[in-house]
């Protein structure tokens, strides 16, 4: 298995930075603040997880990074520069993987290369090399033998694995995971944790995960950020000092369970403070 260089230290400028980002809505003359001056620094190759109660703005932060929503207040910086709009540096995987039913698994994975610069300008000339790269990526998640299957011929877990490959095929610097395993059964979900860790180690892609599953957050992340109920702020920044690659058996150890306990306690505490 490929090994991954550790995330860069705090003395290195962050790859991605939220600076006092806020989000409010005005409806019928009433202002509702969802996010209040949230600041987060994400190092290159770091894997972070955002957890917290529903409606606290976790997905809104991911949408800002993905260029799917504006930053209404504060700053969002990528490599020290303000992010504006969508970018080819970002790959996104959602809870429900949307695959084009008339395209095979391989063709679905290739889709970003057809639409994202600079790859789209050279797709036809490099199609065989791109197909080989997609097949190799599918091989890392156990789908090499299914590359010519159509979406309706795949299980939910297989479609989600293909979705992750599609999000990574154009070699983005940022991978956004918005509750990508919420619709899967418990056994398949745990398999996917291992798969994501393997892909992350293979690509070295800086990753941001939104999840309600605290075990999932601790298993995958270098740093877990607990967000409070709205108006949401960062209630806890927890470094997960567990060795990699992590195994499912580690989830049963006292060290692992202590991290989960700290996250759960902070969520419960912050929810009580906002009650």
In this prediction, residues 107-113 reach a mean pLDDT of 93
Q: What is the CA radius of gyration of the chain?
A: 19
Task: Measure the CA–CA gap between 37 and 75, rounded to whole angstroms.
Answer: 10
Task: Measure the CA–CA gap between 235 and 5, rounded to whole angstroms.
Answer: 28
pLDDT digits (tens, 9 = 90+) for 121-173: 778 888 899 999 999 999 988 899 999 999 999 998 899 899 999 999 888 89
What's the pLDDT score for residue 188? 87
- 184 within 8 A of 164, measured Cβ to Cβ: no
pLDDT over 90 (residue 180): no
- Helix (H, G, I), strand (E, B), or coil: what is residue 143? coil
The 8-class DSSP code of residue 29 comes to: T
9: exposed, middle or buried (Cβ count in 10 Å: 0-12, 13-18, 19+): exposed
What's the pLDDT score for residue 117? 75
Contacts of residue 207, Cβ cutoff 8 Å, sequence gap at least 6: 46, 47, 48, 174, 175, 176, 177, 196, 200, 220
Task: Measure the CA–CA gap between 182 and 36, rounded to whole angstroms.
Answer: 27
The 8-class DSSP code of residue 232 comes to: B
Tell me the angle at which helices 156-168 and 127-140 cross, rounded to the nearest 10 degrees.
Answer: 130
- Helix (H, G, I), strand (E, B), or coil: what is residue 239? strand
Query: E-assigned strands of the chain?
Result: 16-27, 30-42, 47-51, 73-78, 81-82, 90-93, 174-178, 206-210, 223-227, 234-239
Question: What is 16-89+172-273's CATH superfamily?
Answer: P-loop containing nucleotide triphosphate hydrolases (3.40.50.300)
Mean pLDDT of the chain: 89
- The count of other CB atoms within 10 Å of the CB of residue 132 is 11
Q: In the structure encoding, which two tokens stand for residue 200, read together?
A: 């992350």
What's the pLDDT score for residue 7? 57
- 264 within 8 A of 67, measured Cβ to Cβ: no
What's the pLDDT score for residue 3? 40
pLDDT digits (tens, 9 = 90+) for 22-32: 999 887 888 88
Task: Measure the CA–CA gap between 221 and 207, rounded to whole angstroms.
Answer: 9
pLDDT digits (tens, 9 = 90+) for 96-105: 888 999 999 9
What's the pLDDT score for residue 120? 77
- 209 within 8 A of 11, measured Cβ to Cβ: no
Element (H, E) at 134: helix 127-140
């Amino acid at each position: 298995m490929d090994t991954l260089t550790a995330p860069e230290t705090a003395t290195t400028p962050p790859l991605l930075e939220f600076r006092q980002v806020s989000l409010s809505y005005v409806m019928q003359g009433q202002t509702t603040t969802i996010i209040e001056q949230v600041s987060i620094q994400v190092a290159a190759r770091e894997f972070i997880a955002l957890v917290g109660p529903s409606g606290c703005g976790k997905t809104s932060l991911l949408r800002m990074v993905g260029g799917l929503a504006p930053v209404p207040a504060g700053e969002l910086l990528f490599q020290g520069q303000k992010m504006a709009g969508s970018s080819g540096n970002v790959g996104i995987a959602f809870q429900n993987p949307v695959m084009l039913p008339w395209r095979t698994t391989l063709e679905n994975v290739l889709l970003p290369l057809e639409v994202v610069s600079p790859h789209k300008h050279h797709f036809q000339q490099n199609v065989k090399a791109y197909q080989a790269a997609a097949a190799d990526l599918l091989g890392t998640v156990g789908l090499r033998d299914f590359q010519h299957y159509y979406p309706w011929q795949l299980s939910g877990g297989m479609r989600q694995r293909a979705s992750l490959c599609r999000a990574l095929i154009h070699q983005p610097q940022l991978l956004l995971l918005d509750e990508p395993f919420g619709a899967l059964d418990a056994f398949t979900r745990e398999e996917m944790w291992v798969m994501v860790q393997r892909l992350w180690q293979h690509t070295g892609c800086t990753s941001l995960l939104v999840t309600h599953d605290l075990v999932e957050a601790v298993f995958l992340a270098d740093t877990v950020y607990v967000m409070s109920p709205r108006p949401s702020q960062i209630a806890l920044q927890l470094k997960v000092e567990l060795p990699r690659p992590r195994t499912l058996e580690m989830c049963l150890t006292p060290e692992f369970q202590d991290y989960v306990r700290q996250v759960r306690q902070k969520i419960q505490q912050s929810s009580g403070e906002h009650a």
